[in-house]
Structure 1
C-alpha cells in the first residue's frame, strides 16, 4: 500500500538530511523523505497516515542476539531467574521451589540466568542442586550463556557418572579430585552437551516454538526490527523459516553459524524471503565470560568479597582462558576464509582480543583481504585496551560492544573485580568511536533483556544501574549512541544498504517513540516509550503475529523437538 507517514519529527540517521516531516512508502520501501509536499509529489494520491508518535526513527537493530534459543531457555516451560527478575540467591531458591510445586515430579526443569557475581553465590554443583531437587533432571544455565549446572540425575542419564567424558575442544567440565564430574560445565561445547537432555525434554513439549514467538515479541516491543542469531545451527532453520513466514513477523534475521558445526561453512538456501532470513557469517568464541572468571585478561581478578562470593579465583586469568590455541584459530579462519562469510569472534579480555586480531591479520593478510570489505567482527570486547581499537580500524575489523556489561556490572567491575583503571573503564565507548570505527551496540539476549534505549543511556551518561558514574571520559554523544543501534548496527550485519536509516530505497522499517530522544535529559533516555514498529511499510500487529503462530504446523518446528545434543558434543560416555 502506498502511504505517506508523518510524526512529530522524523529522525532519519541520514547525515545528508537528519530531520524530516514525512516519509513516503511504496512496495515496502521508502520512495521519498522530506516535507509532506515532497512526499505527495513523489507519491501522488497516497494517503497520509499520522502515527501520532512524537518521533519516528529507523527501527532499532540488535546486531548480536539469540532469539529462538533465548525463547526456549527463558520462556515457559523454562524459568528465567536472571538477577533483574530474581535479585538474590534466596530469590533463585524460591523460584526453584515454586517450579517444584507447580510441575509433575518427573518433569525435567530448566532455569536460565544464574549469575554468581550479582546473585553473590558460587557455582551450584550437582550435590547442592540434588539437595533441592532430589533425583529430578534439572539444568541451570549461567546468565552469561557460558556455563551450565546440572543435577546428578542428568549426569546419570548421560552415562557420565561411571564414565566421565573428556573435555571437548573449546570447553571443559568441572571435576572432583577423583575425576568425577561436579555438575558444572564451562564454555559452549561442554555447557550445551551437559544441558542437552533437559533441552531435548523441553523441546518435546506441546509447542516449542511458542517461547521463540514470545521472545520475538519482546524484541519488537523494545523497538527492534532486525537482529541476528549468533548461535545458529541447521536444526533451527525450520523454526526461523516458520517465524519469518508468519503474518506480521516483526524481525529481519541474520544468521551466524556456530563454528563447531560441521556444516558451518555451507551455503544457505531457504524458502523464507531473503530479506527476512539470511546467513551472514560464522560464530566463534575466543574466551569466556567476565562473570564466571574465565576471560583472557592481562589484568588480575582482585581478591575481594565480590569475587570470593562468586567463587572467582584471584590473579591474572591470562592466555590459559582461551578456548582455542592460536594454531587452532588460524586453522579455523583458514578453513573458511575463501567462503566469503563474516567471522564473528566473541572476545572479552584484552589478551583474547590481541590473539584474535593477530589471527585476523595473519589470515586476511595471507589472502590479500585486509583492504577488502570483509567486516570480520569482534563481539563484546568489554576489557579492551584503548590501543586495540586503532588496530581494529587498521585491518577493517568491526566491533560490536555491550553497554549492558557496564550498566549492570559496572559497580562490581570497578574495584570489586578489577582495578579501577581497568574495571572502571570497561566498555571503552569513546576510545572505540575516536578510532573511527563503526561501533554497534547489543544486549546479547538473553544475557540481558533487549533494551536499546537503556544501552544508549548508559553509553551517553556512563552511569550504571546504581546511578554511579564510572570513567566519564568514555561517554559518547547521543548521535553516536543512536548510530550504534541503527545505521552502524546495520553495517555490522552487512545490511546498511537496506536498513538502519530512513533513506530512499531502503526498507520502510521504523520505530515510533513517545518522545524525541534529543529533547529528553540524558538520564531519561531509557524512559522513552516505544509505541510500535513498522516492517516493510506496515505497522506490526504483535497480536496477529502471536495468534498466527498457534496455527503453525508441527513440521515447522519438528527439528526443535530433537534439538538434543549438538554434533560437537557427542562425547565419549554419552548415551545420546
Structure 2
C-alpha cells in the first residue's frame, strides 16, 4: 500500500457544506482519502503527518474556467498594455500611459530585433485609455516603414497595423470589408476588427496571433502563470486542436512535473459542422488525468471595449455603431444543435445583451427539440445579461461564467464611454444571476486580464474600478459566494465537479496553498493574500521554482 500523507494546516477550507472547515486532509495515490481534524487523521494506519503547510491555509485548487494558453505565449511579443503586468517568470512589465510611450517601446523592440524582415509584434494595447486618440498606420510607421508592424489589442478582438503591413495584405482605399476601419476620406486607418478580417490580414503576413499551435514552452509558461496564482485546473478557451497541438498537449500533460490540469476547448467555426465533430471525436483519445477534451467553444459577438459586442438599444453610450457577429446568427442554431446532439458540452461567448438574447433563443429551441439533462452548457462572459435573461438561463440549466475582472480594469471606461453609468453598474450581475438560480463562476480571460482568482474574487466582492469608483453595489458577492465561484462553481461550469473544485474524499488532491486565511482578512485585502504554491495530484509545486529565485 502506498504511503498516506496527512497534510496538517492552520485551516482547511473545503467548499463542502457538510464540513466547511477542518485542519487536516489525508491523501493517498493523488486522491483525497479523508478530511477532518488532525487529532483523528494522524491515527490512520500507515499515515505520515506532513507539517510543511502547518502554518498555511489549504483551499481547493482554484479553477480558471475562461483563459487561454496565450497567457503564456504572448510574452514572446512586446507588451504594450496600460496596466503593469507580470510575466510567467514573475518579471514585472510597467504599463504604458500614453500612445507615445507605446510607440517608444515598439521602437526599442525594433532596434533590439535581429531579424528586421520579420513582422514586429506587440500585444495588450488599450486605446480607450488614451483620451480618444486612435492609433493609426501613421503612428506605427514611426516604428518602421519597411517592416510589417502588428499590434494586437488587449481584447484580442482588434488589431492595428502599419503601412507596410497594409501593403503586404493588399489593403488600400479600394477595399471594403466588414471590420476594416477607414477615415473620413475612405482610407484605411490600419485598424482591423474581429476575427474574420484579422485572420485574413495575418495570413497574408504568415502570422497567427490568435489560433497558432502552441509550443511546449507556451504550455509550460501558461502552467507557470497558473501555479503562481494558485490555479490547478485551467481552460484553453479556443483551440483548433490540430494533430500537432494534441501531440504536444499529451506529451506535456503526461509529465509528472507538469503542475496543471488543462481543459482545451475546440473552437467551433462557421461552415459544415461534420469535420468539426470528427476533429473533436479524434481529439478525445488524447486525453488523460491532466488533459480533458470534448468541449466546444462558440463565439457570437465581439468585445464591448472594442465596440464589436452586439448590444440592444439604446446602443453604445458614445454613439458608436453596433458591433459585429463572429458567428452569423443564422448559423448559430445549426452549430449548437450539431454539438448538442453529439453530446458535447458547449461554451458560448456572449458579451452584449443582444448576443445573449440570440444565444438564449437558440438554446431554448434546441432544448425543446432535443432535450438532454446530462449536458450542462455554459454561457461565457455574460457581461450585459439582465435578470430576465438569467431566469431563462436557469430554466435551461445553463451556467454563467462572468467576466468580473472587467469591473476593475474597464469599469471606468464603461461608465464614461461605452455604456454610461446605469448599464455600467449592471455589468457582470453576479448577485442577480445567483438570485435567479444560475450556477456561476467568475474568470479572468487571461491574458486579457491577469490570471489571479483571488483578485477576481476580490473584484466580485468589492466591485470597485481602478479609480476606486463603486459600480453596482447590489451585485456584490459574499466571500462564501466568491470563493465558491473560483472553485466549485468553475468546476461545475466545466462538468468536472465530480473530480475537482472541493476538498472531498475521492477527488483529486488539488490544493491552493495560501499564506493567510480569506476569512480572517477584511474584504478589501483579499487580493493581497499571497499564494505559497499548489498541490496537484498530491504533488507540491511551490510558487517560486528554484530557477526563479
The DSSP-based 3-state class of the residue aligned with 1:226 is: strand
1:275 is matched with: 289
2:91 is matched with: none
5 Å-filtered alignment, 1:121-520, equals 121-160=132-171, 172-175=179-182, 181-196=188-203, 200=207, 208-235=215-242, 236-260=245-269, 263-266=275-278, 267-269=281-283, 274-300=288-314, 314=319, 317=322, 321-369=324-372, 372-520=373-521
Call closer, same or farther: CA 1:434–1:97 in 2, change over 3 Å.
Answer: same
* Stretch moving more, 357-366 or 132-141: 132-141
CA drift of 1:107 comes to: 3.5
The DSSP-based 3-state class of the residue aligned with 1:230 is: strand
2: CA distance, partners of 1:316 / 1:163: 22
CA drift of 1:489 comes to: 0.2
2: CA distance, partners of 1:201 / 1:375: 32
CA drift of 1:506 comes to: 0.2
Does structure 2 conserve the Cα–Cα contact (< 8 Å) formed by 1:231 and 1:258?
yes
Call closer, same or farther: CA 1:359–1:21 in 2, change over 3 Å.
Answer: same
Does structure 2 conserve the Cα–Cα contact (< 8 Å) formed by 1:247 and 1:544?
no
2: CA distance, partners of 1:127 / 1:90: 13
The DSSP-based 3-state class of the residue aligned with 1:540 is: strand
Instruction: Structure 1: state its 5+ residue gaps.
Output: 308-313, 548-576
Superposed CA RMSD: 2.8
CA drift of 1:414 comes to: 2.1
2:34 is matched with: 32
What whole-Å deviation, never above 9, does each CA across 1:449-474 have from its counterpart, x for those lacking one? 11211111111112122222121111
2: CA distance, partners of 1:160 / 1:413: 32
1:102 is matched with: 112
Does structure 1 conserve the Cα–Cα contact (< 8 Å) formed by 2:157 and 2:195?
yes
What whole-Å deviation, never above 9, does each CA across 1:316-365 have from its counterpart, x for those lacking one? 73xx6333443211122223222111111111111110110000111121
CA drift of 1:243 comes to: 2.7
Call closer, same or farther: CA 1:542–1:517 in 2, change over 3 Å.
Answer: closer
1: CA distance, partners of 2:136 / 2:246: 34
1:567 is matched with: none
* Stretch moving more, 37-46 or 447-456: 37-46
1:13 is matched with: 15
The DSSP-based 3-state class of the residue aligned with 2:380 is: strand
Does structure 1 conserve the Cα–Cα contact (< 8 Å) formed by 2:196 and 2:326?
no
Does structure 1 conserve the Cα–Cα contact (< 8 Å) formed by 2:8 and 2:49?
no
* Stretch moving more, 145-154 or 174-183: 174-183
Call closer, same or farther: CA 1:530–1:407 in 2, change over 3 Å.
Answer: same
Q: How many residues are aligned here?
A: 525
Does structure 2 conserve the Cα–Cα contact (< 8 Å) formed by 1:24 and 1:43?
no
Call closer, same or farther: CA 1:5–1:431 in 2, change over 3 Å.
Answer: same
- The two structures have a TM-score, normalised by structure 1, of 0.85
Does structure 1 conserve the Cα–Cα contact (< 8 Å) formed by 2:351 and 2:384?
yes
Call closer, same or farther: CA 1:413–1:264 in 2, change over 3 Å.
Answer: same
The DSSP-based 3-state class of the residue aligned with 1:526 is: helix
CA drift of 1:534 comes to: 0.5
Instruction: Structure 2: state its 5+ residue gaps.
Output: 84-94
- The two structures have a TM-score, normalised by structure 2, of 0.88
1:92 is matched with: 102
CA drift of 1:71 comes to: 2.4
1: CA distance, partners of 2:494 / 2:365: 23
5 Å-filtered alignment, 1:537-576, equals 537-540=538-541
2: CA distance, partners of 1:539 / 1:445: 24
1: CA distance, partners of 2:127 / 2:164: 23
2: CA distance, partners of 1:441 / 1:503: 22
CA drift of 1:484 comes to: 0.5
The DSSP-based 3-state class of the residue aligned with 1:113 is: strand
Does structure 1 conserve the Cα–Cα contact (< 8 Å) formed by 2:110 and 2:143?
no
1:114 is matched with: 125
